[in-house]
Amino acid sequence: MAISRQQVPQPVVLDLNTIVKQMQSLFHGVLNPDIEIRSVLGRGLGAIRADPTQVEQVLMNLVINARDAMPGGGKIAVETANVEVDPSQQQLPLCLTPGPYVRLIVSDTGTGIAPEIQAHLFEPFFSTKPAGMGTGLGLSTIFSIVKQMGGAIDVSTKQGKGTVFKVYFPRCPEDLLAGPPRATMTVTGGTETILLVEDTAPLRQLTREMLRSQGYNVLDAGDPDEALRVARECAGPLPLLITDLLLPGYSGSLLAQRLAPIHPEAKVLYTSGYCDNSTSHPGVRGKDYEFLQKPFSRDDLLRAVRTLLEPPRLPARRPSRPVPAPAATPASLA
């Protein structure tokens, strides 16, 4: 999707270790307890210049692939380190310009990858997963993100033993570092109930965990009929519906219309990877909605949710300080 929407990256100077740490709770949310994940974060790690959303995407795609390669459980390791690529290291199967890099490794103890599959790994839409479980865009997206940044990705694997993905991000020259490396902006969560409708199961699970990790009560459904059933059973207020615009059966906008009589308080956050904005989609109307383009980061999602749940306040009707009694107005001005 990053490829198809020709996403314009917004690079900032950032610390990869901070991103790995911030994503821990999301990892735990998408991994079953039979998968152990540990991080080994390099000390004195140099900064990289990258779009934080894209770095999160790289990391999450690799962790989810590792998870899917271990249906019976196993171990994932996420490691970061400074590395120097010097001209003598040209045995690397990568066309890296010699110089300083920050290396991210995501390794697993899963199935490994058969040689005939390895040849297609980075091709868009190549997937060995059942329909609905994988779009085959994970690795091709990572490839284009990393390539765009002047980095590279390398894979080594042994069938039945596991797989190691190494991602090389160019390290920032020291003189580019103005102040401490920045990470993603902080955003707040909440405790409201949200109905999440998304037909791609892994994406639904990930989005649900992003919201739950911030305190939200999330009800979810994979199609519009199931969503309406869940909504009817929800006795309390349901202030927000998050729905994909394209769903099996009928569209997200029709779902929103059908939800309105059941939960008139519900505002709507539409998501889609296929069009630039919701106004181009038939049926999307009203003022209590926002639109979020896929792929989105955790921060994009949380920001859009808070914007809908807490619209910008109108100026208070009553001033906070007591207003002095009006001075006697000259009759000529009254």
Ligand X SMILES: Nc1ncnc2c1ncn2[C@@H]1O[C@H](COP(=O)(O)OP(=O)(O)OP(=O)(O)O)[C@@H](O)[C@H]1O
Q: How many residues does the chain have?
A: 334
**Residue 38: left (phi > 0), alpha (psi -120 to 50), or beta?**
beta
In angstroms, what is the minimal distance from the CB of 103 to ligand X? 17
34 touches 73 (CB < 8 A): yes
CA atoms of 287 and 262, how far apart (whole Å):
18
Residue 151 carries which side chain, given as an amino acid letter? G
Residue closer to ligand X, measured from CB, 140 or 207: 140
Q: How far apart are the first and last CA of the chain?
A: 64
Shortest distance in whole angstroms from residue 136 CB to ligand X: 4
Minimum CB distance to ligand X smaller for 40 or for 177:
40
Residue type, 222: G
Binder to Mg ion among 65, 214, 243, 251 (CB under 5 A)?
65
Q: Does 117 engage in binding with ligand X (CB under 6 A)? A: yes
Binding mask 130-159 for ligand X (x = CB under 6 A): ----xxxxxxx-------------------
* 118 touches ligand X (CB under 6 A): no
| Euclidean distance between CA atoms 314 and 21, whole angstroms | 37
Closest to Mg ion by CB, 129 vs 229, is 129
Contacts with Mg ion in 266-305 (CB under 5 A)?
Answer: none
Q: Is the torsion defined by CA of 319, 324, 325, 330 positive or negative? A: negative
Residue 190 interacts with ligand X (CB under 6 A)? no
Total residues binding Mg ion (CB under 5 A)? 2
Q: Please name which of 76, 73, 81 lies closest in space to residue 62, comparing C-alpha atoms.
A: 76
The answer to the question of residue 104 lying near ligand X (CB under 6 A) is: no
Between the alpha carbon of residue 275 and those of residues 133, 138, 210, 271, 281, the distances in Å are 22, 20, 23, 10, 8
Residue 102 vs 106, nearer CB to Mg ion: 106
- Closest approach, Cβ 138 to Mg ion, in A, equals 3
Please identify, using beta-carbon distances, which residue of 107 and 253 lies nearer to ligand X.
107
Select 18 or 140, whichever has its Cβ closest to ligand X. Answer: 140
| DSSP annotation string for 68-120 | HT-TT-EEEEEEEEEEEE-GGGTTSSS-PPSEEEEEEEEEE-S----HHHHTT
State in angstroms the smallest separation of the CB of 206 from ligand X: 10
Instruction: Give residues with Cβ within 8 angstroms of 158, minimum separation 6.
Output: 112
Which residue from 56, 108, 209, 220 is in contact with ligand X, where contact means CB under 6 A?
108
* Residue 54 or 163 having the CB closest to ligand X: 163
> Please, what is the minimum distance in Å from the beta carbon of residue 134 to Mg ion?
6
Which residues face 162 on adjacent strands? Answer: 158
* Residue 126 binds ligand X (CB under 6 A): yes
Nearest residue to 309 (alpha-carbon basis) of 187, 186, 185, 193: 193
Q: How far apart are CA 175 and CA 49, in angstroms?
A: 12
Residue nearest to ligand X (CB): 138
Residue choice 127, 156, 217, 257 for contact with ligand X (CB under 6 A)? 127
Number of residues in contact with ligand X, rule: CB under 6 A? 23
Task: Write each residue from 195 to 224 as x if it is in contact with ligand X (CB under 6 A), else as -, in one continuous string.
Answer: -------x----------------------
The site for Mg ion (CB under 5 A) is made up of 65, 138
The site for ligand X (CB under 6 A) is made up of 61, 65-66, 69, 108, 110-111, 113, 117, 121, 126-129, 134-140, 163, 202
